[in-house]
Amino acid sequence: MIAALWTHWVRLLDRREAPDVLALVRIGVAAVLLSDYLTVWRLGLVPALMAGADAGGLAHASGNPWADWIGADLRGAWLLEAGLVGASAALMVGLGSRAAAVALMLLSTQWAMLLPEGDRAIDMLLRNVLLVLAFSRAGATWSVDARLRTGSWRGDGAPVPAWPRYVLVLQVVVMYFTAGVQKYGQHWWPWGGYSGLYVILHDWSYASHAFGWIRHQPFFLGTQLATAVTMLWQWTYPVVLVHYFPPRRPGRFAAAFERWHLHWAWIAVGAFFHVGIAVTMQLGIFPWGMLAVYPAFLHPDELRGLWGRVRAATAR
Amino acid sequence: MSDEVPAPSRTATWRAIALTAVLAVHCVAAAPLPQVVLPEELRTPVAREEVSRWAARLTSLGYAIDADTLGERVLTVSGAIGGAHRRVLAPFRPIFRSTGTGQGWALFANPNIWPFRLEVRVRGASGPWRLLYRRLDPEHPFEDPVIGYRRVRAVYDAHGTGKRPRGAYRRFVAWYAQRVMAEDPSVEQVQIRMVRTHTTIPPRPEDPREEPRFTLVERRP
């Protein structure tokens, strides 16, 4: 029994597929990070966020490798910014994709050590994604690497190991589920009036606008419903794994889940949730970084089908 | 012709072993265990209110406990669980640290009904304070893209829970005051503070109270 389960698990991790989805994640994640680094430059915040106090910045000027080896001065700050922009741009266009993913992850880590207060959950999540991409063949298509290797931007079309995509799915599932079960605050629960989102939208740090008007109906009821849906959605998120890691012998539930494509319900709610966050809260790259990983939920055949439908609709 | 599926290759098996080991470590890291709660964190109004409400709820469910006792238990239990979690992950910490990776997703675990609103005031050699910036105030949006940028906001949001602000907030005040004075030569003093407001849940009436905290003043050298 255990041997059979293990063999099933090994086969799940040995699946192969076209590299398009991993390439899309690579491009999306790199684009989100690149836009963040360019925002820092555009706002004139490179010295402020990457240099120490002596150079007029907020970073910790010692006790981390970048400050100790390169320096937390202006030169070090601009070198770090150039490295982050260069590595994210290289990853986006797929130039030395694996090396670019590793370099970007390590440089982002150095920035996190220089200014730990500024490093948020989304930064760590995207570093996890970069580590997975570094072990993947995400550069096998739609990349300079593919063009140099095969003469075509699309690459040779050979299937690549699919496990990195499934690991990314697992990462997102773990994030949502553990974020849900750790919501111990009363305001998330019925006895707190399902007022969690209402309270967050009144938090000056996170809200994008003054939301005083949502205390009136039907808006308050809307926030209560959204809170209840958020909790239900996060607590039940692991059920989508039935689709991505199907059991060896699917029972009635797994078969029905597959027949009705029920995993789409969780994915759709998630996408709606992140767009809602982007509109109502100022969480920086959080919603876009999460949405950049969302293509991992699609099999390359689904992505191709979706693309075909989009093209057909636009051609009409 | 046989229906048997061929056994996985040796490469596939070793890859599965390696991935399983990595996933196991990350599952332990991601385990939704209570974070270590510190005594000063338990003294904040948000935490005090939360503990009181949980104590009342547990008592109503038949487990009689008062807020102080529950608070002490939270300190003890979260310290023990958090300590054990740290010890289990200790061998892998250098990898997590050097790659900046890890797990830990307590996002909005306890929404804050006592949020803080940043205010920046300035004045010249004499005269009253003039409001230059107030968070989400369209009439005082001075440099909102800079102050609102997520990493800058994270620095002044790290003001701490005690009476005195933490170092990150002090660094922000020194940096931002210099920036304001460099921009406007008539400014001699910059005052930065966090104004604490109270979010009430309908149908309770709004609470108009505002309490300035962590007020620091920087003067032109």
Q: Number of helices and strands (H, E) in chain B?
A: 8, 4
Confidence at B3, pLDDT banded by 50, 70, 90:
low
Give the H/E segment covering residue B192: strand B189-198
Q: Quote the radius of gyration of chain A (alpha carbons, Å).
A: 22
Q: Can you give the pTM of this predicted structure?
A: 0.94
Q: pLDDT at position A24, please?
A: 98
Contact B136 A209 (CB under 8 A): yes
Instruction: Check B136 against A181: CB less than 8 A apart.
Output: no
A contact residues 141-170, partner B, Cβ 8 Å cutoff: 161, 163, 167, 170
Quick one: which H or E segment has residue B116?
A: strand B116-123
pLDDT confidence bin for B41, thresholds 50/70/90: confident
> Considering only A118-127, A216-225, B37-46, B51-60, which range has the smallest mean pLDDT?
B37-46
Q: Do B99 and A131 touch (CB under 8 A)?
A: yes
pLDDT tops 50 at residue B1:
no
Question: B113-156 pLDDT, tens per residue?
Answer: 999 999 999 999 888 999 999 999 999 999 999 999 999 999 99
Distance from CA of A307 to the nearest CA of B (A): 32
Pairing of strands B116-123, B189-198: antiparallel
Assembly ipTM: 0.91
Q: Percent of chain B, pLDDT > 90?
A: 77
B94: contact with A, CB 8 A cutoff: no
Q: Among residues A232, A222, A224, which one has the least CA distance to residue A194?
A: A224
CB-based contact, A241 to chain B, within 8 Å: no
Indicate the DSSP class of residue B118. E
Q: What is the pLDDT of residue B4?
A: 65
Candidates A191, A193, A186; CA nearest to A225 is: A193
pLDDT > 70? residue B32: yes
Give CA–CA dist B117/A116, Å, rounded: 22
- Using a CB-CB cut-off of 8 Å, the residues of chain B touching A187 are 110-111, 113, 201
* CB contact burial B27-49 (16+ within 10 A = b; e otherwise): eebbbbbbeebeeebbeeebbeb
Q: Are A297 and A263 in contact (CB under 8 A)?
A: yes
The C-alpha atoms of residue A118 and residue B194 are separated, in whole angstroms, by 18
Instruction: Report the pLDDT value the prediction gives residue B103, as an integer from 0 to 100.
Output: 95
pLDDT score of B153? 96
pLDDT along chain A (316 residues), means of 10: 92 96 98 98 97 94 93 97 98 98 98 96 98 98 97 96 98 96 92 96 95 95 97 97 93 94 95 96 96 97 92 87
Please tell me which of the candidates A117, A118, A202 has its beta carbon nearest to residue B199.
Answer: A202
* Residues 16-55 (B) with a CB less than 8 A from some CB of A: 16, 19-20, 23, 26-27, 30-32, 34, 50, 53-54
Give residue-wise pLDDT tens across range B71-84: 999 999 999 999 99
User: What per-residue confidence (pLDDT) applies to A257?
Assistant: 95
Does the bond joining B205 to the residue before it have cis omega, within 30 degrees of 0? no
Q: Which residues pair with A257 in a beta bridge?
A: none
